[in-house]
Amino acid sequence: MNNFPKRLLAHALPVFSGLIFTHGSAIAQENTELNNDDHQSNELEHVQVSGETYRGLDSQTTQPVTVLTGDELAQRRQGTLGETLNALPGVHLDNFGAGASRPVIRGQTVPRIEVLMDGANVFDASSVSPDHAIVTDPLLLDAIEVLRGPAATRYGGGAINGAVNLVDSKVPRAVPEGGVSGATEVRLGSGDGEQTAVGRMTMGLGNVAFHVEGSSRESENYDIPSEFGADELADSFSESSNFSLGASWINDKGYIGAAYTRQDAEYGLPGHSHLNGVCHTHGADLHCEAHDEFEDPFGSSDDHTAYIDLRSERVDVRADYAQLLPGIAHTRMRLSYTDYEHEEIDGPSLFSQYLNEVYDARLEFTHEPLLGFSGIFGVQYTDGTFSGLDVNLVQNSGLITSIYMALTSYGPPIEYKTENYAVFLNESRSFGQLDVEFAIRKDHREISRPVPELIENVRPGYEMLLPVFVSLYGENWIDNFRDEAAEDFIENNPGSKHSPLSASFATTWNFDEAYSASVSIGRTERAPNVRELYAYGNNLATNSYELGLTQRNRASSSFPENSADIMESADSLDLTFRKTSGDTQFEVGVFYQDVTDYIFARHLETEDATGVAHNYLMYVAADADFTGIDGQISHQFSPVSRVTVFGDYVDADLKSEDDRLPRMPPGRLGVRYDWESGPFAANLEYYRTASQDRVASYETPTDGYNMANMTISYQFNNDATEAYLRGVNLTNELAFMHTSFVKEQSPLRGRNLILGLRHQF
C-alpha cells in the first residue's frame, strides 16, 4: 500500500479508529465465517525405459523415456502424483500430508517441471504453493511418462527439469473389440482407513465410442510412528472424487473427441498454524505481534482444522489423424478449458480463495521424412486468468484495509491475466548407429493486472469517512481519488513481458542392440511465475512472509530494486549409459546444470514471537549449479527372479550467495528383489535415504531413514482379475522428507497395508 491510503489513514485514524476498527472486523467476520462440519518401486517390467512415449504416435525420441504402467502403476498408485512417483530414480516428493504432494525431479519441482495431461498442460494452482494439489487422479491413469531432454523441451521453460505426462483414456482412441471394455478396482488401507472404488467403461456404437469413468477415495488421518508424539498425523485426512464423460468419432485415419472432467477434493493441511496471521513488516523487519492497526486476524485458538476444498472442471477436445494434409504424416490437436477453484478454510473462517480459468490450444504436425529427418512442428496459445495470491480474506479485515476498501474494489480477487504464444520444433534422424535429435521452442508471455474499478460512492457502513475524503480530495473527490488509486495500483503491480527461448540437442550412439550411450546438451530459459513476481504477504502454509521480484522496494527502499524482467536460464549437460537386453540391464545418468539468475526465496530473518517460527523471504536471482547421478542396474538370476539396485544423488550450489538452496533431496540407494511364477508375483524393496546436512541458513538438518516395502499379487480368471497386498514402511520407521516445506510437522506415513482387487473386461 503506497502513500495515498496511508495519508487517508493518518487523517481518519484520530476520529474514526475505534468505530471503523469494530465495524470492519464485524464485516470481515460476517463475510468469512463458514460452517465447519466437521513407496514404492521401479520395476523394469513396467517402469520401462524406451525411445518413444507410451502412445508412440508422433513422439519418437532418441532419449530414454521412463514409463510407469501396468501392474506396477496399479499397485503403487496413491491419492497424489508425488506419492505415486516417489522412489523412481531421480524422483522424490514434496510432501504435504495425504492431499497434496508434488514430484521432485533431480532436485526441482514445479514450476521447473511441467505436468501434462496427454500432452496438454495441466492448469491448477500447484506451482503457487506446495499445499496446492496437482489436479489429477492417479487411480484413473493408463500410464505416467517422465520425459527429459528434447522430448521435454517442446513444452517450454517450465520443463527445465523434465515433464511428467499423465496418459488417460477419457477421450477414446478406438472402438473396443466386442463393443465394451472396462475395469474396476477397490482398495482398502490399514494405516489411514482408505476406502477407494474405481470404475471405467468404454462402449462402441459403429464409429462412435463413449467413455465414462469415476473414482471415489476417502482416507482418515494416517498413522505415524508413536515416537513422533502421536499415533496419527493430525489434519492428514483426504477425500476426493473424480468423474469424466467422453466420446469420440473414429475412422481408419484417427479420431476426434471430447471429454468433460470434474474433480472434487477436500484435504487437511498438517503443520498449518494461523498464529502468524498477525505477522507484518516494518520496512526491512518482520514483526509478529499485534499492535495499532495490525490486529490478530483470527483472535482464536490454533487447535482447529485447516483444510482445502477444491473443485476443478475441465473440457478437453483431442484429435489425432494420419495423412490429413499433404506432406503431413500425422496431425495432433489438444484444446482445453479449465475452471479451477479452491478455498482454504481455517476453522470457522474462509482464509483465502484461488481461481484459475484457462483456455489452451496446441496443434502439432508430424511431417513426412525430409532429408532423412522426422519431426514435429507446432504452435500453442494460452489465455488464463488467475487470482488468489496475496488475498487473505481474514487478514484483510484490519483498519487500513477497512478504510481503503471503503471506496475501492481492490480487494479480492485481484486478477492476473496471462497470455502466451509459442512455436516449437522437434526433429530426429538416424545415421547408422548414431541417432540425433534436437528441439527448439520460442515463447512470448505477458502478465498483466488490470486496474480494478472503483465503486461510485462510499460503501454502505463507511459513510462517516465521506468528510475525510472531501477534505483530502475536494468536491470532485471521487475522480481525484480514482486517478491516484489507479496510479498507485499500477506502480505496485507492474506488468511483465518475457520471450524465453529453449533449445536442446541429443545424440545416442548404439554400440549394438543392447548397449548405447547418449549425450544431451541444452539451454533453457524460464520466465518467473506469478508468485515469484508478485508475492507480497503471509503464506501461512509455509510459515513465511514473502516478497516477490516486483514487490521488494514496496516493503523497504533498502531492498534490491524491483524487477519484472529477470529470466532464469540454464545450460545443461546429460550423459546416459544404458543396456536394454540380456540378463543384466542398466540405465545410469549423470547430469550438470549451470543456471544463471536462478530465482529463489532468500532468507532475511526468522521471527518466532508467536511460538511458531515465521520466515521473512525475498525472491532474488543468483547463479547456481546442480550436479547429480541417478539410475538402476538389474540382473535376471533365473526366469522367475530379478534383483535391481537403484539410487540417485544431487548436489546444488549457490555460486553468488553465501547460502545454500533449500529443500534439496538427499542421496538415496536401494535394492529390490522381484519374483514371479505362474499367477503369483512378489517383490521386496529396501532403500536408504541419507541424512541431509547441506542446508540453507533457515533450515535444519534432516536425519536419514530406511524404507522397506513389499507387494504380493495373484492373478486368476485368465489374468482378468488380480488381488494384491502392498505394504509400505513395514518397519514403521519415523521418516521426514527434507524436500517438504513442513517436514518437521508432517512425517511420512507409518506402516500401511493396502489390499486391492482389480478386474478388467
Least confident of 164-173, 288-297, 340-349, 628-637: 288-297
**What are the Cα distances from residue 128, in Å, to 95, 125, 534, 536, 756?**
15, 6, 11, 13, 34
CA neighbor of 102 nearest in space, from 65, 127, 124, 120: 127
Q: Mean pLDDT check: name the lowest of 200-209, 486-495, 725-734.
A: 486-495
Report whether pLDDT(445) > 50: yes
Lowest mean pLDDT, pick from 25-29, 165-169, 259-263: 25-29
Selection from 67, 63, 76, 166 nearest residue 114 by Cα? 166
State the pLDDT at residue 64: 56
pLDDT confidence bin for 407, thresholds 50/70/90: low
111: alpha, beta or left? (left if phi > 0; alpha if psi -120 to 50): alpha
Q: In this structure, what DSSP letter does residue 159 have?
A: G
Among 294-303, 347-356, 708-717, which stretch is predicted with the lowest mean pLDDT? 294-303
Q: What is the pLDDT of residues 673-704, one digit of tens each?
A: 999 999 999 999 999 999 999 999 999 999 99
pLDDT level of residue 1 (50, 70, 90 thresholds): very low
C-alpha cell at 174: 478406438
Going by pLDDT thresholds of 50, 70 and 90, the confidence category of residue 465 is: low
State pLDDT tens for residues 474-502.
777 777 777 777 777 778 788 999 999 99
φ, ψ of residue 236 to 5 degrees: the values are -100, 15
Chain mean pLDDT for the chain: 86
- Given this model, what pLDDT does residue 283 score? 86
Check residue 391 and give its pLDDT.
63
3-state secondary structure at position 276: helix
Average pLDDT of the segment spanning 178-200: 96
Taking the C-alpha atoms of residue 603 and residue 616, their distance in angstroms, rounded to an integer, is: 6
Kindly give, in sequence order, each residue whose CB lies less than 8 Å from that of residue 479, ignoring residues fewer than 6 positions away: none
Q: In whole angstroms, what is the distance from residue 74 CA to residue 185 CA? A: 9
pLDDT digits (tens, 9 = 90+) for 364-385: 999 999 999 999 999 999 999 9
Contacts of 404-407 with CB under 8 Å at 24 or more apart are: 404/1, 404/5, 404/8, 405/459, 406/458, 406/459, 406/462, 406/465, 407/454, 407/455, 407/458, 407/459, 407/462, 407/469, 407/478, 407/481, 407/485
**What pLDDT band is residue 393 in, cutting at 50, 70 and 90?**
low
553-564 average pLDDT score: 92
pLDDT band per the 50, 70, 90 thresholds, residue 133: very high
Contact 437, 470 (CB under 8 A): no
Provide the 3-class DSSP secondary structure of residue 600: strand
The proportion of the chain whose per-residue pLDDT surpasses 90, expressed as a percent, equals: 68
> Is the per-residue pLDDT at 722 higher than 60?
yes
Do 88 and 647 meet the contact criterion of CB atoms below 8 Å apart? no
Determine phi and psi for 380, rounding to 5 degrees.
Answer: -145, 140
Q: What is the pLDDT of residue 426?
A: 94
Residue 403 pLDDT > 80: no
Query: Which DSSP category does 11 fall into?
Result: H
Confidence of residue 349 (pLDDT cuts 50, 70, 90): confident
Q: Please tell me the least confidently modeled range out of 240-249, 524-533, 539-548, 643-652.
A: 539-548
74-83, 446-455, 595-604, 748-757: least confident range: 446-455
CB-based contacts of 691-695 (< 8 A; 24+ apart in sequence): 691/666, 692/664, 692/665, 692/666, 692/738, 694/651, 694/660, 694/664, 695/660, 695/662, 695/738
The mean pLDDT of 386-410, rounded to a whole number, is 57
Tens-digit pLDDT profile for residues 507-552: 999 999 899 999 999 999 999 999 999 999 898 888 999 999 999 9
Pick the range with the lowest mean pLDDT from 248-252, 367-371, 451-455, 539-543.
Answer: 451-455
Cβ burial of 433 (10 Å; 0-12, 13-18, 19+) is exposed
Q: Is the pLDDT of residue 46 over 80?
A: no
Nearest partner of 712 among 755, 749, 759, judged by Cα: 755
The share of the chain scoring above pLDDT 70, in percent, equals: 86
Quick one: pLDDT band at residue 272, thresholds 50, 70, 90?
Answer: confident
Give dist(CA 177, CA 111) in Å, integer: 41
Phi, psi for 749 (deg, rounded to 5): -60, 145
Nearest-10 Cα torsion for 634, 637, 638, 644: -30
At 152 the three-state DSSP class reads helix
Q: What is the C-alpha R_g of the chain? A: 27
> What confidence tier does 461 reach under pLDDT thresholds 50, 70, 90?
low
> Mean of the pLDDT values across residues 696-725?
93
Q: Give the separation between CA 542 and CA 535, rounded to whole angstroms.
A: 13
